[in-house]
Each structure stands twice: as C-alpha cells, then as structure tokens.
C-alpha cells in the first residue's frame, strides 16, 4: 500500500511542477507584450513607439537622438528592437521609442 501511495505522490509532485512551469511560461509570455501608446501610463508619459513622431511642441523635454534604447531605464540588450522598462511593468517598449521619463544612460 505504501508503494502505491509513493507513486501517486510522485505523480502529483511532477504534475505540480509542470503546472508551475506552465504558469511561469505564461507569465513570461505576457511580459513580452508591447506597451501601447494608448495605455494609461504610456499616454501620461507621452510615450511614442517611434521617437521621430514625438510632437516637439507638446514635449519640450524631447531632444533629437533620445530613444528608449539609450535611456537609463531601458532593460533590453544593446541593439535590441524592444526591451523591458520598469515604468511599464510586464510590457516591453520599442528600442526606438521615447517617453517624458527619458534619462540619458551613463
């Protein structure tokens, strides 16, 4: 009777581990989604996925050459098309994007 219990427990533990892994993968997949310019936080920060489309009349902080990829907050790899940003938890920003929270890297 103990052997059957051990087998059942072992199967249960494996299923639990698999379910946990699936949950983590699903959470990671959600983290990969891009932030939309219309998201409340993005709109509040004047985020644009393409810095060349920033309305310079409305965004006095913008200066040519600023982009998410050279911002201190950008968490993507150098040269990547997109990466994480702590301002947009669980979402990625475009490397060529910009928002009013821009802080020069370095």
CATH number of domain containing 55: 4.10.490.10
SS3 104: strand
Asked if 39 contacts 69 with a C-beta cutoff of 8 angstroms, the reply is no
Q: How far apart are CA 51 and CA 63, in angstroms?
A: 10
Measure the CA angle with vertex 35, ends 66 and 60; round to 5°. Answer: 35
Domains contained in the chain, number: 2
Residue 30 has a pLDDT of: 45
Digit-coded pLDDT (tens) for 19-52? 766 555 555 544 479 999 999 999 999 999 999 9
pLDDT range class, residue 5, cuts 50, 70, 90: low
Question: Containing H/E element for 14?
Answer: helix 2-31
In this structure, the answer to whether residues 41 and 7 fall within a common structural domain is no
Question: What domain range includes position 63?
Answer: 32-106
In this structure, the answer to whether residues 66 and 26 fall within a common structural domain is no
Asked if 31 contacts 90 with a C-beta cutoff of 8 angstroms, the reply is yes
Q: Over range 65-71, report the average pLDDT.
A: 97
Digit-coded pLDDT (tens) for 79-103? 999 999 999 999 999 999 999 999 9
């Amino acid at each position: 009777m103990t052997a059957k219990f051990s087998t059942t427990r072992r199967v249960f533990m494996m299923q639990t581990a698999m379910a946990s892994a699936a949950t983590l993968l699903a959470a990671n997949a959600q983290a990969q989604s891009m932030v939309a310019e219309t998201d409340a936080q993005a709109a509040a920060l004047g985020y644009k996925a393409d810095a060349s489309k920033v309305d310079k009349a409305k965004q006095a902080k913008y200066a040519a050459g600023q982009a998410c990829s050279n911002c201190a907050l950008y968490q993507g790899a150098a040269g990547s098309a997109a990466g994480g940003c702590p301002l947009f938890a669980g979402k990625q920003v475009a490397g060529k994007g910009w928002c009013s929270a821009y802080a020069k890297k370095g």
